[in-house]
Structure 1
Amino acid sequence: MKKINFSGGEPFIVKKRTFVGELVKLCKQTLGVESVSIVSNGSLVSERWFEQYGEFLDILAVSCDSFDADTNEKIGRQQGQKSHLISLRSVRRLCADYKVAFKLNTVVNTHNKDENMVEEIMQLNPCRWKCLLIDGENTGPDALRRAESFVITNAEFDEFLRRHKDVEYLVPESNEKRLYNLFETNPRVENVLNFSGFDEKMFFKRGGKYVWSKADMQLDW
């Protein structure tokens, strides 16, 4: 295995952050996994965690759907009394301080589709900015969650991408590509992938293979 990603839910909830920390350490130190990453909303990330586990983590991706507080509240990104945007910028600083690559994930939906995020994204300067659509398990008669009110059209998604075309690290995922969003791993692990619905051609088409180890990244910490 070359890459492993921990997502949720919120990975930092279990055992007050230590569980995912020990998993990250195990994967990097014992198993020698090339790239270890976490997807988080950023609310529970602390400097103490970075002190203990930062050296073993390659990428920390934070979910950020808007830079407007009211929009975040409509989407459900508000973190109680905490500001999601304050948490986001705090995590960005910690990633720089502890030499962990910082990534952003944005779900483009009815509430943020007209937003211009160029200035804020440029300031945060992530190594990748993944923009996604809602579909699959979250829409339709058999949906696990009722998210139809958030769904936008492909044309609206394309317009969002055009507005942000100057952001060089933007990585879009359309409905077609997003089918494989949750399966980022080594495409040669054939015994598992044969039963997973994994499509190797789509994996490469959607940018699934990239420079994902911080040891190989040329980042200005």
Structure 2
Amino acid sequence: MDVRNLVINYHLTELCNYSCEFCFAKYGLEGKFNTELHRNVDSVKLMLEDVFRHFRKSFKSIRLNFAGGEPLLVANLIDIVDAALSIGYEVSIITNGSLIKPSLISNLFQKMSTIGISIDSFNSETNRQIGRSTKNKCDNNIRQFLEEFKKLPCTLKINTVVNRHNWQEDMSASINEINPDKWKIFKVLTIQPNTIGITNEQYQYFIETHREKVETLVFAENNDDMRESYIMIDPLGRFYQNSDNCKGYVYSDRILELGTEKAFEQIVFDKIKFNQRYVAL
């Protein structure tokens, strides 16, 4: 199966203002954020240019999705986005929504083809239990800026991770109020030992609860669907992938040191799984 449009997820930073129990964006960089590549925009641009040259030979278009941690904490984010656009990437972002402010609508979000907001619950206590809060305050701003987002020429997407705290929640009314273009529902991925995992039956219960009630396109990804179906770059500028036992990651050498072609050969990417992720329920 031929993939014509490629998505690359660039996890700019491990830093986040939330502490979600299930967070998979952990690279062992706590206390070492000064080593993350985003601090040098010129280096980021060199890496992104090399990545673009390599994949542009095979793919019609390439979307660079900025993620974290929380990407809005990166001081150089707008400069990096502009660099990616100048290279030829389409750009998108996934954010927890807590740091959105009016100036970002015109300076950043209007440049995106897709804006993704992570929302795991509309219940403040559930968010607190998950870790989606700062000083016990759950401050997702999406409703405040919803009308502004709707004016932008982009796709609005909601991401939800189903876990032991929210699998019985009915989010359909709020999802319909937001009315995103897409809703992606993930089963929590246990990368590190935790107690937030759920069974396949609980995950299916959440999906069935919403299948007939939600008016938007719904996409579901179980753990196996996610494995080897993403191209991901970590904050140090390495390709990485889930290990076979989901107990950590397999990393390539740094792209700037080895080059995209050789670095990418060090991880596994399944094109068929990638395409299947874009089939709605």
Query: Which structure has more strand as a fraction of its residues?
Result: 2
Tell whether 2:276 aligns with 1:205: yes
**Which of these residues, 87, 98, 115, is aligned with residue 31 of structure 1?**
87
Greater C-alpha Rg? 2
Q: Say whether the 8 Å CA contact 2:160–2:184 is kept in structure 1.
A: yes
**Which of these residues, 196, 201, 208, is aligned with residue 155 of structure 1?**
201
| SS of the residue 2:274 aligns to | helix
Paired with 1:95 and 1:181, the residues of 2 have a C-alpha distance of: 29
* Structure 2 residues without counterparts, runs of 5 or longer: 1-51, 53-61, 234-259
Residue pairs, 1:44-193, within 5 angstroms: 44-80=99-135, 82-85=137-140, 87-137=141-191, 143=192, 146-147=193-194, 149-166=195-212, 167=214, 168-180=216-228, 182-183=230-231, 193=264
Q: Shift of residue 79 of structure 1? A: 3.2
Q: Say whether the 8 Å CA contact 2:109–2:115 is kept in structure 1.
A: no
Query: Structure 1's 136 and 81: CA in aligned 2 closer, same or farther, altered over 3 A?
Result: closer
Q: Say whether the 8 Å CA contact 2:118–2:158 is kept in structure 1.
A: yes
Provide the aligned C-alpha RMSD in A.
Answer: 2.5
Deviation by residue 1:142-186 (Cα, 9 ceiling, x = unmatched): x2xx42x1100111111111111133411100011122464279x
Paired with 2:168 and 2:121, the residues of 1 have a C-alpha distance of: 10
Question: What is the TM-score of this pair, normalised by structure 2?
Answer: 0.62
Deviation by residue 1:24-55 (Cα, 9 ceiling, x = unmatched): 22222x1221x311111111122112222333
- % identity of equivalent residues: 29
Aligned residues: 192
Query: Structure 1's 162 and 122: CA in aligned 2 closer, same or farther, altered over 3 A?
Result: same
Deviation by residue 1:46-82 (Cα, 9 ceiling, x = unmatched): 2112222333211111111001111111111123375
Match of 1:4 in 2: 64
Deviation by residue 1:121-156 (Cα, 9 ceiling, x = unmatched): 11111111111122252xxxxx2xx42x11001111
| SS of the residue 1:155 aligns to | helix
Q: Say whether the 8 Å CA contact 2:132–2:138 is kept in structure 1.
A: no
The code of the aligned residue for 2:150 comes to A
Q: Say whether the 8 Å CA contact 1:58–1:101 is kept in structure 2.
A: yes
Question: What is the TM-score of this pair, normalised by structure 1?
Answer: 0.77
The code of the aligned residue for 2:157 comes to K
| SS of the residue 1:84 aligns to | coil
Q: Say whether the 8 Å CA contact 1:104–1:128 is kept in structure 2.
A: yes
Deviation by residue 1:81-106 (Cα, 9 ceiling, x = unmatched): 75434x12124333223333221110
Query: Structure 1's 79 and 97: CA in aligned 2 closer, same or farther, altered over 3 A?
Result: farther
* Structure 1 residues without counterparts, runs of 5 or longer: 138-142, 211-221
Q: Say whether the 8 Å CA contact 1:95–1:101 is kept in structure 2.
A: no
